[in-house]
Structure 1
Amino acid sequence: MQIVATMFWRRLDLPGHDACRLEKHGNGWQLDGAAVFRNEDGRPVRLDYRLHCDNAWHAQWGRVRGWIGSAAVDFAIARGSNGEWSFNDQVVPGLAHCTDLDFGFTPATNLVQLRRLNLKLGESAQAPAAWLDLDDDSLGPLMQTYERRADSEYWYQAPRFDYESMLVVTPEGFVSQYPTLWAAED
């Protein structure tokens, strides 16, 4: 294992922080992080997360453990060789078109999508993701679009949340400015 980069964010819409590192693991990549924040219901949240990808940045599996208020969280997510996603060992239908895995509570997973897409200046692409919904304890589809506007800027759209904004990224691919949601701290 080789540590490639680390990142530390402050949440902008609610109290909270997130710390993550990108690791090279043999023939793959791994994000390893922890998020601590207060959710919209006011409950404290602590989540440890890990996302593993192959060498081409295709998500293979993810794990989220911790708690939300008094409720324990332990989610295992995997993508099978046939492209189907499973959530705690149960196949979730309708997600085979999703290439990426997105943990909605952290900006860390955008790195995987940006690295996989490897967009040139002026290019855009859709990045459908299997999205972890903490409110429902479920996995569902999230349509996203990225358009590279500058070396470190991507126009991002997620219609499900009526969200669009300019993301600023580090040379390693971590989002450093996620308007209204997250900002990197030095």
Structure 2
Amino acid sequence: MKRLLRWAALVSPGTEELVLHTEDGVISADSVVEGGRAGESARVSYHLELDPAWQVRRVAVQDRDGRVDLLREPDGTWRDGDGVTLPALAGCTDVDISVTPFTNTLPIRRLQLAAGESAEIRVVYIQSPGLNVRPVRQRYTNLGDGRYRYEALETGFAAVLTVDADGLVIEYPGLFRRTP
């Protein structure tokens, strides 16, 4: 199965085009995010490989500052592109790439929360520009009717995301909206 998804940025001019592909139980996402802030244009590309439970196996992100490659072993150990173990990322299952709403789908799909349920998780946060990588705590709450409350616990930021039946973000208020 192959699916093309597009989002428009709402704060500054920008778009994302993502190809979501499922084959033989492996889910992959390849995306290009283009946009600009303060007169600067930017381009970020990323590749995600996920297992059938939507757990990250591999993530690669590239922007003007370089490239980050991370691998998550079946036992949950994270390694960089050179195979070096990253103990600071222990306990992280998902990734959150700052420039995309797509990575919110990973915990939504993986956790399978019933309406009214919530879960606190640790994720690998990848900030672009800069390609800074760090663990962060987040909480997702299924509000029902295709709505999830997302909370970044260290900063206090929260938003109610609207998702489709597949858990893919339709609207991230003030930041992103899916387009046809």
Do the two structures share a fold, i.e. TM-score over 0.5?
yes
Structure 1 unpaired stretches of 5+:
none
Q: Specify the SS of the correspondent of 2:102.
A: coil
The answer to whether 1:64 aligns with 2:61 is: yes
Return the TM-score normalized by structure 2: 0.90
Structure 2 unpaired stretches of 5+:
none
CA distance in 1, matches of 2:81, 2:154: 24
CA distance in 1, matches of 2:122, 2:23: 25
The answer to whether 1:50 aligns with 2:47 is: yes
8 Å CA contact 1:7–1:174 kept in 2: the answer is no
CA deviations on 1:101-160 (whole Å, 9 max, x unpaired) are 221111111111111011111111123111112244331112111111113101111123
Return the TM-score normalized by structure 1: 0.87
CA deviations on 1:15-54 (whole Å, 9 max, x unpaired) are 1111113211212211121100114x54311122111111
State the one-letter code of the partner of 1:172. Answer: D
The count of corresponding residues between Structure 1 and Structure 2 is 179
Counterpart in 2 of 1:85?
Answer: 78
Tell me the CA shift for residue 86 of structure 1.
2.5
8 Å CA contact 2:8–2:179 kept in 1: the answer is yes
CA deviations on 1:61-113 (whole Å, 9 max, x unpaired) are 01123x43xx4x32211112442222332433321110112211111111111
Computed over aligned residues only, the root mean square deviation of the Cα atoms, in angstroms, reads 1.8
CA distance in 2, matches of 1:25, 1:102: 23
1:84-163 alignment runs, 5 A limit: 84-89=77-82, 90-163=84-157
Q: Specify the SS of the correspondent of 1:110.
A: helix
Counterpart selection for 2:7 from 6, 9, 18: 9
